[in-house]
Amino acid sequence: MPLQIAFDNSYARLPDRFFARLAPEPVAAPSLIRLNDALAEQLGFDPGLLRGAEGVAMLSGNRMPSGAEPLAQAYAGHQFGGFVPQLGDGRAHLIGEVIDRQGRRRDIQLKGSGRTPFSRMGDGRAWVGPVLREYLVSEAMHALGVPTTRALAAVSTGEWVMREGRMPGAVLARVASSHIRVGTFQFFAVRQDIEGVRALMAHTIARHYPEVDGALALVRAVVAVQARLVARWMGLGFIHGVMNTDNTHIGGETIDYGPCAFMDAYHPETVFSSIDQFGRYAYANQPQIAVWNLAQFATCLLPLIDDDQDAAVEAATAAVHDFADHYQAAWLHEFRAKLGLATAEDGDRALIEGLLARMAEQGADFTRTFRGLADGTARDAFAAPEAFDAWARDWTARLDREGGVAAAQARIAQVNPAFIPRNHQLEAAIGAAVSGDFAPFHRLCDVLARPFEDQPRHADLGAPPGPGEAVRQTFCGT
């Protein structure tokens, strides 16, 4: 049975200046590293066929199935605060859209699939490190319940890619509710192409916010989903690392897993990315940066918000400032749940902040501390546990007012994961893969698919890095 995919490519029907049509560049010897069977089925694909020659040919970009309309999307973006009027897919091809089993429109995109008119000096390729990293972290985020792009497959290319040295090449097949970014709007706005902004807005509303009416309501909707998204990141100790406007998704998904990382030891100023010299994208800065990015988004829509420019600015500013309320509510909801609180009291914020302050003072492991609240081992994450014990007395008293610690513990284990993609484990899995051993990668994938279950056989993957194991820097790895 041949591979047949019912593509319905709405982005390809937008005006020509939205993208460049071109096929991926074929690779020498594609070989499937991993296929996400569950996601494939959700998309209505037959995993068996995807594993076959035709499937791998599609997933590597070597042959496009009928109905695919491959294209590279145009976008702009602020990178570390500096505006770049033209970025675009320099190493990615949107091959088409499908409607999944739940009736949701999904982009199928290849990343590392060759040069495009947006490649600038880049080679259009990816090496196996960032491909496996994105596969692992995006799928872990999904399992943790965070809105995110997904990984459908990773394929090795049989070609070398030149980075610091010669690295094995790979292609990631990525699935997303769209690849529309704040930077996509900026691409048209900076060209004063109001008709372009208008067409993109109509497409975005139809696709992501069918209930929304008009530009101002769209700003409000995106502000709300971004506030919830960043609160989820904060609740997991996740640092995106490169919150540029081209990496800010209009539908509220986490996108672009470059130098991202989960903290081990908690400190609000933590930064991993080697290129983030001034800590612009540090853990605690993420909400503010989201506001900054949303202000750029609102700016693109000003001419569509009101003909009177002052009125447009005033309305847009108010809509962006609503972020604070959405975020504070989402953050409290997130951390109340992490402490097992089912009710709300005025002192809850102080209680949460009291724990975080003690964790920061002692560099307690973020994930172990919160998970430990479910089984009485949280104090073990502290070098001087008396500080935790003092806090725990207040916490216990607080829980006693609503049913007690024991009743809360099952709830706590459902929201505080035992397993996150720890940096040192990601690096170990990538190192092994580069030397041809994919077993640690597959094991991590399997364990991270069930992050809230104790998996005693895999306790090593839940443990914080030992002395000398901690990874302090991550790289864009493009």
- The residues binding ligand AMP (CB under 6 A) are 87-91, 118-119, 122-125, 246-247, 256, 258, 476, 478
Question: If contact means CB under 5 to 8 A according to the sort of partner, which of ligand AMP, Mg ion, none does residue 417 touch?
Answer: none
Residue nearest ligand AMP by beta-carbon distance:
122
Among Mg ion, ligand AMP, none, residue 20 binds (CB under 5-8 Å by kind): none
Q: Does 89 bind Mg ion (CB under 5 A)?
A: no
Least CB distance to Mg ion at residue 421 (A)? 19
Residue 133's nearest CA partner among 431, 336, 458 is 431
- Give the nearer residue to Mg ion in terms of CB position, either 432 or 476: 476
Nearer to ligand AMP, 111 or 338 (CB): 111
Smallest separation (angstroms) from ligand AMP to the CB of 119? 4
Residue nearest to Mg ion (CB): 256
Among candidates 218, 200, 185, 190, which has minimal Cα distance to 11? 200
- Decide: is 97 part of the binding site for Mg ion (CB under 5 A): no
What residue 90 binds from Mg ion, ligand AMP, none (CB within 5 to 8 A, per partner kind)?
A: ligand AMP
Residue 26: DSSP 8-state: P
Near Mg ion by CB under 5 A, which window of 248-256, 312-320, 415-423, 446-454?
248-256
**H/E stretch holding 97:** strand 92-99
Q: Are 364 and 389 in contact (CB under 8 A)?
A: no
Comparing CB distances to ligand AMP, the nearer of 86 and 409 is 86
**Residue 334 interface partner, choices ligand AMP, Mg ion, none, CB cut-off 5-8 Å depending on type:** none
For the bound state, the minimum distance from the C-beta of residue 183 to ligand AMP, rounded and expressed in Å, comes to 9
Beta bridge partners of 156: 31, 170
**Residue closer to ligand AMP (CB basis): 25 or 469:** 25
Partner that binds at residue 207, options Mg ion, ligand AMP, none, CB closer than 5 to 8 Å by kind = none
| Distance (Å) of CA 25 to CA 86, 93, 112, 194 | 22, 10, 9, 33
Out of 89, 107, 246, 264, the active site residue is 246
Pull the structure tokens for residue 404. 């007690």
For residue 155, which phi and psi values (nearest 5 degrees)? -125, 135
Q: Write the binding mask 190 to 229 for Mg ion: x where contact by CB under 5 A, - elsewhere.
A: ----------------------------------------
148 touches Mg ion by CB under 5 A? no
Reduced to 3 states (helix: H, G, I; strand: E, B; else coil), residue 358 is: helix
Tell the smallest beta-carbon distance from residue 254 to ligand AMP (Å): 13
Nearest residue (CB) to Mg ion, 75 versus 327: 75
HSE-up of residue 21 (Cα within 13 Å, Cβ side): 11
Dihedral angle computed from the Cα positions of residues 109, 115, 118 and 122, in that order, rounded to the nearest 10 degrees: 110
- Could you count the other beta carbons within 10 Å of the beta carbon of residue 292? 17
Residues in Cβ contact with 191 at an 8 Å cutoff, skipping those fewer than 6 apart: 85
Q: How far is the CB of 271 from ligand AMP (least distance, A)?
A: 16
DSSP string, 147-162: -B-EEEEEEEEEEEEE
Give the closest residue to 359 by CA, choosing from 346, 347, 371: 371
Mark out the alpha helices in 43-120 (DSSP H runs): 47-51, 53-60
Smaller CB separation from ligand AMP, 175 or 316: 175
Question: Smallest gap, in angstroms, from Cβ of residue 259 to Mg ion?
Answer: 11
Closer residue to ligand AMP in complex, CB, 71/352: 71
- Partner from Mg ion, ligand AMP, none binding residue 32, C-beta < 5-8 Å depending on class: none
Smallest CA-to-CA distance from 409 within 455, 440, 437, 370 is with 370
Nearer to ligand AMP, 92 or 399 (CB): 92
Q: Which of 89, 97, 107, 256 binds Mg ion (CB under 5 A)?
A: 256
Nearest distance from C-beta of residue 286 to ligand AMP, angstroms: 16
Residues 80, 24: Cα–Cα separation, whole Å: 29
- Please provide the size of the chain in residues: 478
| Shortest reach from residue 72's CB to Mg ion, in Å | 13
Burial class (CB in 10 A: 0-12, 13-18, 19+), 322: middle
Judged by CB under 5 A, does residue 362 bind Mg ion? no
322 binds, among ligand AMP, Mg ion, none (CB under 5 to 8 A by kind): none
* Neighbour-count burial of 165, counting CB atoms closer than 10 A to its CB (0-12 exposed, 13-18 middle, 19+ buried): exposed
3-class SS of residue 94: strand
List residues bridging with 169 in a β-sheet.
Answer: 127
Sole residue written with tokens 């070597």: 62
In angstroms, rounded to a whole number, what is the distance separating the alpha carbons of residues 50 and 95?
A: 15
Interaction partner, residue 288 (ligand AMP, Mg ion, none; CB < 5-8 Å by kind): none
Q: Is 247 in the site for Mg ion (CB under 5 A)?
A: yes
Q: Which two tokens stand for residue 140?
A: 């872990």
Site size with Mg ion, rule: CB under 5 A: 2
The item of ligand AMP, Mg ion, none sharing an interface with residue 96, based on CB under 5 to 8 Å by kind, is none
Min CB(287)–ligand AMP separation in Å: 21
Which CB atom, from 156 or from 254, has the smaller least distance to Mg ion?
Answer: 254
CB 470 within 8 A of CB 424: yes
Task: Identify the helix (H) or strand (E) that includes residue 197.
Answer: helix 194-208
To the query of whether residue 89 is one of the catalytic residues in this protein, the response is no
Active site amino acids: 246
Which residues of this chain interact with Mg ion, rule CB under 5 A?
Answer: 247, 256
